[in-house]
Structure 1
Amino acid sequence: MKRVMAVKTRKIREKKQKKRFSMVDVIVQKGRWIEKIFAIAVILSVISACFVHVNYDLSEYLPDWAPAKEGLNRMEEEFGYPGTARVMVGPVTLYEAKAYKDRIAEIDGVDMVMWADTTTDVYNANIFINYDDIQDYYKDGYAVMDIIFEEGDSSSLTKSAINEMQTLTGDKGYFMGSAVQNKSLNETLMREISIAMALGVVMIAVILCLTTTSWFEPVMFLMVMGIAIIINMGTNLILGTISFLTFSVASILQLAVAMDYSVFLLDMFTKERAKGNDPVTAITNAIHKSLPSILASGATTIIGFVVLMLMRFSIGKDLGFVLAKGIVVSLITVLFLMPSLLLRWGDRIKRTEHKSFMPSFHGLGQVVYRVRYVVLGVVLLFVVPAFTAQNMNSFTFGNSALGSSPGTKVYEDEQQINGRFGKSNLILAVVPNTSMVKEKDLTDALDDLYYVKSVTSLAGTIPEGIPEKIIPKSATSLLHTDNYSRIMIYVKTSDESDFAFQCTNEITSIVRSYYPEDSYITGVIPSTQDIKSIITADYNFVNLLSILGVGLVVLISFKSLIIPIVVLIPIEVAVFFNMAVPYFTGESMLYMGYIIVSCLQLGATVDYSILMTNNYMDARRTYPEKARAIKHTVSRSALSILTSGTILTIAGYGLYFVSSVAAIGGLGHLIGRGALISVLMVLFLLPVLLTMADPLLMKEEAKKIKIEETRQAMKQKKRDLKEQMKQKTVQMMPGQPKKKMEAEQMGPVKQDKKMEAQQPSKNIEDEVKENEK
């Protein structure tokens, strides 16, 4: 019996020890294994990142039910999806232009070249050529040609063909169009993003050196973030292809946004070491204490990015997934790898300590408290105009904001071509191949439109009376298949304007009048039109959902209904101000950037509000006066907020100043300016909101304290009950007197009866002993 009870006791003890063995113990004790796992992950990520493709065509992200996407899908099934370009050569004679056209048409990868010789015999004598008839293709010694490639805009064969054309034309060549834009983006993005990343790392390192107290801390921060960025880039292989926007901003935003997590952990580790704890105990305590802050901060940012994935325009899904994955990877790297590095290099951090270069922010707390009502008045004065102005911005939606940005060679060439020959864009009609007569009538109807430059169809090209069957399939396959016909319509408009959209609507109406069913209109202009209608509807939904999501995280973290409102107001005001600036400065803004930065600014900078609010609640437990508490809060929070905000600002403005691509530069400008405004709003507006909401906050705090006291009392009762049960169990253990055990197990009546039964036996024994004596 004793042996059985001993075994049971040992098993209970072992079970309790296993329960106490947590994930934190694994992180601390298996540091070397964790380092090896991350080393392998980095190597695999570097390799896999080479196989991730970049897409530059925004129309690829349209939902399948969008009319332009339906047309693209049908055209790709029947004819493929060829790339297009526009080439101008000059100064040249008409005959030299014809020679250039013929040589371009022979280049591998070029399918068709549209020029004046399709309608005019340029070999006639000058007196027989009406130059007014060909002025859309040749005038003032310059010739312009429309090129259709065999493969898509991003194809290596298309890029090779453009290179050959540029070599052929030399200084006389000017190039524009979607294929040229893609090639330009591909060549410039990698270089510019590398420069922006290098400048960002240097500037962030300088900031960290100024705000930390060890020369080695910035090195470790950047190393941890670098590993997280590489792993995130490598795991993009899950998607296979990412958008050019994601490729451009994901890494530098991950560096800027996720840096806070490593700062939180190191700060807590330093405090634990200052208490005299050994490194292992210090890092264990640091993980436990910093984990809630790190996870709450990460959750708000992840929600801001995950919401983007719900956009119907799926570039949001692409960007949101990569950025959210980057934050998750950063959290894992900080929580698993960084503790091992701190244990390995803790002494090195201590040896390289230096005095802080940052001043005390006590004076800032005094200033903030003095001007609090002035700040509130200014914000109330401008917030309504800012909210109204942000919805009145001049937006761009399509590919025009990509490769052909001011300052680029593509943009300069585009200005030269459009300046001489006017704008030109290709609209494609895909209609059922049922009647050559109907197709010819449609071609003529479209050609009569005043804004149409040319219309190319097989029915309009083949002379009347010649049957299609006698023409080789290789000659007709570009415009006809067994089921569908393709009509190429060049219009004299830009690819994004109200007039361009009106032209598309009219062309669609004419095509549908001839082919009510199974007809499709596609191209750059229809795609941009669909992007505009879809993405504008996405904004309100995405913005509201991101606010609700972040508010829910704050509510759960603080267990308060008032704090989420107080925390979100400064950030939303900052978003309004940030998005209103382009309206007052007259700048155009990419609508995608408008949505992306609204969610990003909320998710990434709400941490500043959370930090200050948390510090204020702590200060109010120490200082009964609101004024003293808010001054202490500002002085305590300013360094962390300024450090994090400055890093995000530098990352954004780095993209803005380095990138020649309008979409990337504009996105960086919004991010940098948004971070700066958020910092100002948190430091100056949030304190006055906290003091105004103080009575409600203290009332909630009192309720929470009362609930906590009740909960602790219940816990104490449970502990007391367990202790009583434990004592009874100990009394029942082997080695206790049998009579005592029986007495405790029986009730009073049974115990008395047993004692009475035993008493006579005891008297007889005594009598026997006495007689024997």
Structure 2
Amino acid sequence: MRHKVSERIREKPYQILRTCRDKGKDDISFPTRLARFIIHRKKLIESIFFISCAVSMFAMLFVNVNYDLTEYLPKDAQTNIGLDVMREEFGYPGTARVMIKDVSLYEAKQYKDKLEAVDGVDQILWCDSTANIYSGEDFINEDDIDDYYKDRCAVMDITFDEEDDSPRTSGAIDEMRAITGDRGYFVGMAVQNKSLAETVESESNRILVIAVIMIFLILCISTTSWTEPVLFMLVMGVAVMLNRGTNIFVGTLSFLTNNVAVVLQLATSMDYSIFLLDAFTKERDKGKTDEEAMIAAIEEAIRSIFASSMTTVVGFLALVTMTFSVGFDMGLVLAKGILVSLITVIFFMPAVLLKFSKWNDKTKHRSFLPDFKNFSKWIYRMRYVILIITLLVTPGAYVAQGMTDFRYGNNAIGAAEGTQIYQDDQKIIEIFGRSNMMLAIYPNTSPVAEKAMSDEIEDLSYVKSVTSLPDTLPDGVPEEFLPYSMTSELHTEKASRMLIYIKTKAESPRAFECTDEIRNILKRYYPEASYLVGETPSTQDIKEAIVSDNARVNALSLAGVFLVVMFSFRSIVTPILILVPIEMAIFYNMAMPYIRGDTLIYMGYIIVSSIQLGATVDYSILLTNNYMGARKRLPNKEACIEAVSLSCTSILTSGSIITFAGYIIYMISSTAAIGDLGHLIGRGGLFSVILVLTVLPSLLVLFDRFIVGDGWKRTANYLKNRYVDQRSIWKARWNGNKEKRFRKRKLGKTEGTL
């Protein structure tokens, strides 16, 4: 008897399903079967998630972060090919520039010797290679050394043994700063990468902590229980942990992705937890037990959560198609984060929610938000005014968004205004002017051609200095007479290298013109296998790659979201109405930098367009769903008012989270690219909330006949009837004209025929 009872207890989880099968009811839907499986296996699922979190915490330590945007250039970009050649032939050492203030020539020489002895420093170029600084300042022609020593300040060009982002190079910079103390001013790619890494790492933790606190406070205001925000943060915390751990399969992330992915995942996927909790609460209010209510809630919520998440995933995946592959890892990580959040909410949250349900009941409080009825009525009354205003403003915003001044390269990110590197750079420019280094790589075939090319480049008015082996060799001395250690920096068996310093910014129209002219000279002397590398050429290639990505990424994200929404609503007109306010919000968001006169990093511009579309289209979907549900029992006016009233709390909660998250990133981060990205995300979320709650209700009422009922059939019937009516009109006109022509011919009049 005891054995039979235990067998029945063991069979209980599948009792309902087996009973249905025994009765021949094999039509149980997949959501129902999934919901029952989740509830009856909740302990196993909890264990799997907790073990996965522990593994993810360990795996996170092995995810690398990259701070050099040139590594994301397409493989066929000329700069990328040139860098590969240089790595193979010469290596790719890091570079920096240091100015030491308030020193004599002799003191500067002592500093140089100390800096050159630092582990990780290969060589330092200064005026002591061309002038005898021990002869005394009175015997040295100042014009010969003013590029390196002026006004008791000495500036030196440093080459490291290893690459810019090497730990050894970073350690060398720290040691050199200790040697120079307050007298030293450091700039260059190696310094920039080190500063960027340290800044991003310290700021990312602050951003995350403040964002979590702000999101928690928003949830406290928008929910009706003090423990519900704790539940949401726990579930989303697990999802974030799993997403960060699975980044180990991506390998290396860009610093942009690593810095904003967590906050964006929290901001864009919090809705899924809210959907499930709302559905669970409604089912419990019907008198069901907790487990029955949870099964019904999963059945109800899974479709809306799945549809909502798919639009976001599609919007993010459009970034994967970027040829400038920083979009690949950002799109992949964000899309993966949404899928991980979806899985966590569907499988893990039910188990946690059942445990929290009693605490949620005990800690209930009144709602802090109004019912929004008056606001909904005002929106309906003002619908035509709202549409007229947006029709007048939107064309201007669309034009303005493409007129913003953009920046593209590493310098715009790591040495932006407000950073220590920017301040140091301004000090050096004030005394010595600008010095923008480039490297020409070309075949080692003709010393005569190399000398002629070097002389021609050096004669250009904007060129500060040129270093090549023909210029370095004393007249009449063959290269073979010099030791390999001296020549290997500029010549190998197959390739030659030339260092060129020009008097321009790293990124400006003038710098691009100068680079093009030098590249043309290089191609004239060495048509094949010649490359110009450096910050300015890299920025040009980044610009070319990322600008070409813009139209494609926007079109793909828009088309993908449109298709998902179209098949969800089974209508062609509905997705158009849903996307209109979001696209308008994107136009307004991207037009603001032009209106304010700001310079924007183009990478943020292209990335945020997809992020804003994917993350905020859910607001439109929710409002449209509520309208269509209300429309089944109410006329369009009452349906509009009810839909806005029902949607306001959810939209304002989600919109506030993404808005505050973006602005927290913007206010805390001193890195221009990350700050711009946060600003665009925050402002974009705000515009989306405003336009969805104002413009979309007006559009739903205006196009009510196309979206209520079966969207496919309504649209098809309308087009068919329109075609039939138009055809009848043209047929009647044709018959009338035919009769007129007959009468005229009969009367012998041929003029006036059609």
The reply to whether TM is greater than 0.5 is yes
Residue aligning to 1:497: 508
Residue aligning to 1:404: 415
Residue aligning to 1:542: 553
Work out which of the residue numbers 652, 660, 672 in structure 1 matches 2:670: 660
Work out which of the residue numbers 532, 537, 541 in structure 2 matches 1:521: 532
- Equivalent residues of 2:571, 2:712 under 8 A apart: no
Residue aligning to 1:765: none
Counterpart of 1:439 in structure 2: which amino acid? E
- Equivalent residues of 2:572, 2:715 under 8 A apart: no
* Residues 335-350 of structure 1 mapped to structure 2, 5 A cutoff: 335-350=346-361
Counterpart of 2:692 in structure 1: which amino acid? V
Residue aligning to 2:135: 124
Are 1:67 and 2:44 an aligned pair? no
Are 1:368 and 2:400 an aligned pair? no
Q: CA deviation at 1:57?
A: 0.7
Are 1:686 and 2:699 an aligned pair? no
- Equivalent position SS for 2:143: coil
For residues 419-465 of structure 1, what are the alpha-carbon distances to aligned partners after superposition, in whole Å with 9 as ceiling and x for unaligned? 22112111111111122232222222221112111111222212123
- Equivalent residues of 2:443, 2:494 under 8 A apart: yes
Residue aligning to 2:53: 42
Work out which of the residue numbers 148, 162, 166 in structure 1 matches 2:173: 162
Separation in 2 of the partners of 1:136 and 1:685? 61
Q: Larger C-alpha radius of gyration, 1 or 2?
A: 1
Q: CA deviation at 1:313?
A: 0.6
Are 1:696 and 2:706 an aligned pair? yes
Q: CA deviation at 1:702?
A: 9.5
- Equivalent position SS for 1:123: helix
Separation in 2 of the partners of 1:14 and 1:148? 81
Q: CA deviation at 1:11?
A: 13
- Equivalent residues of 1:181, 1:402 under 8 A apart: no
- Equivalent residues of 1:296, 1:553 under 8 A apart: yes
Work out which of the residue numbers 537, 559, 562 in structure 2 matches 1:551: 562
Residue aligning to 1:305: 316
Q: CA deviation at 1:82?
A: 1.3
- Equivalent residues of 1:608, 1:679 under 8 A apart: yes
Work out which of the residue numbers 198, 211, 221 in structure 2 matches 1:210: 221
Residue aligning to 2:277: 266
For residues 622-672 of structure 1, what are the alpha-carbon distances to aligned partners after superposition, in whole Å with 9 as ceiling and x for unaligned? 112x22211111111111110000000000000000001111111100000
- Equivalent residues of 2:573, 2:715 under 8 A apart: no
Separation in 1 of the partners of 2:494 and 2:589? 52
Are 1:648 and 2:647 an aligned pair? no
Moved more, 429-438 or 203-212: 429-438
Separation in 1 of the partners of 2:222 and 2:425? 47
Counterpart of 2:78 in structure 1: which amino acid? P
Separation in 2 of the partners of 1:12 and 1:667? 54
Residue aligning to 1:387: 398
Task: Pick closer, same or farther for the CA change 1:702–1:533 going to 2, 3 Å.
Answer: closer
Residue aligning to 2:723: none
Work out which of the residue numbers 13, 31, 42 in structure 1 matches 2:22: 13
Counterpart of 1:427 in structure 2: which amino acid? M
Q: CA deviation at 1:94?
A: 1.5
Superposed structure 1 runs of 4+ greater than 6 Å apart: 9-12, 14-21, 704-707
Separation in 2 of the partners of 1:155 and 1:217? 46
Counterpart of 1:155 in structure 2: which amino acid? S
Task: Pick closer, same or farther for the CA change 1:470–1:453 going to 2, 3 Å.
Answer: same
Q: CA deviation at 1:12?
A: 7.4
Are 1:289 and 2:300 an aligned pair? yes
* Residues 353-502 of structure 1 mapped to structure 2, 5 A cutoff: 353-502=364-513
Size of the alignment, in residue pairs? 698
Residue aligning to 1:578: 589
Counterpart of 1:449 in structure 2: which amino acid? L
Q: CA deviation at 1:492?
A: 1.1
Separation in 1 of the partners of 2:595 and 2:228? 42
Separation in 2 of the partners of 1:633 and 1:161? 63
Q: CA deviation at 1:507?
A: 0.7
Are 1:632 and 2:672 an aligned pair? no
For residues 203-229 of structure 1, what are the alpha-carbon distances to aligned partners after superposition, in whole Å with 9 as ceiling and x for unaligned? 111110111111111001111111111
Separation in 2 of the partners of 1:546 and 1:35? 35
- Equivalent residues of 1:68, 1:521 under 8 A apart: yes
- Equivalent residues of 1:401, 1:661 under 8 A apart: no
Separation in 2 of the partners of 1:629 and 1:249? 38
TM-score scaled by structure 2? 0.90
- Equivalent position SS for 1:487: strand
Task: Pick closer, same or farther for the CA change 1:14–1:147 going to 2, 3 Å.
Answer: farther
Residue aligning to 1:755: none
Residue aligning to 1:595: 606
- Equivalent residues of 2:440, 2:533 under 8 A apart: yes
For residues 95-128 of structure 1, what are the alpha-carbon distances to aligned partners after superposition, in whole Å with 9 as ceiling and x for unaligned? 1112212221221111221222222222223232
* Residues 719-730 of structure 1 mapped to structure 2, 5 A cutoff: none
Counterpart of 2:161 in structure 1: which amino acid? E
Counterpart of 1:315 in structure 2: which amino acid? V
Separation in 2 of the partners of 1:16 and 1:114? 84
Separation in 2 of the partners of 1:264 and 1:207? 16
- Equivalent residues of 1:361, 1:635 under 8 A apart: yes
Q: CA deviation at 1:15?
A: 8.7
Q: CA deviation at 1:141?
A: 1.1
Task: Pick closer, same or farther for the CA change 1:674–1:702 going to 2, 3 Å.
Answer: closer
Counterpart of 2:531 in structure 1: which amino acid? Y
- Equivalent position SS for 2:540: helix
- Equivalent position SS for 1:507: helix
Task: Pick closer, same or farther for the CA change 1:467–1:225 going to 2, 3 Å.
Answer: same
Task: Pick closer, same or farther for the CA change 1:594–1:702 going to 2, 3 Å.
Answer: closer
Give the gaps of 5 or more residues in structure 1.
1-8, 708-773
Separation in 2 of the partners of 1:350 and 1:606? 32
- Equivalent position SS for 1:486: strand
Counterpart of 1:319 in structure 2: which amino acid? M
Give the gaps of 5 or more residues in structure 2.
1-17, 718-754
Task: Pick closer, same or farther for the CA change 1:492–1:10 going to 2, 3 Å.
Answer: closer
Q: CA deviation at 1:401?
A: 2.1
TM-score scaled by structure 1? 0.88
Separation in 2 of the partners of 1:83 and 1:25? 59
Counterpart of 2:22 in structure 1: which amino acid? R
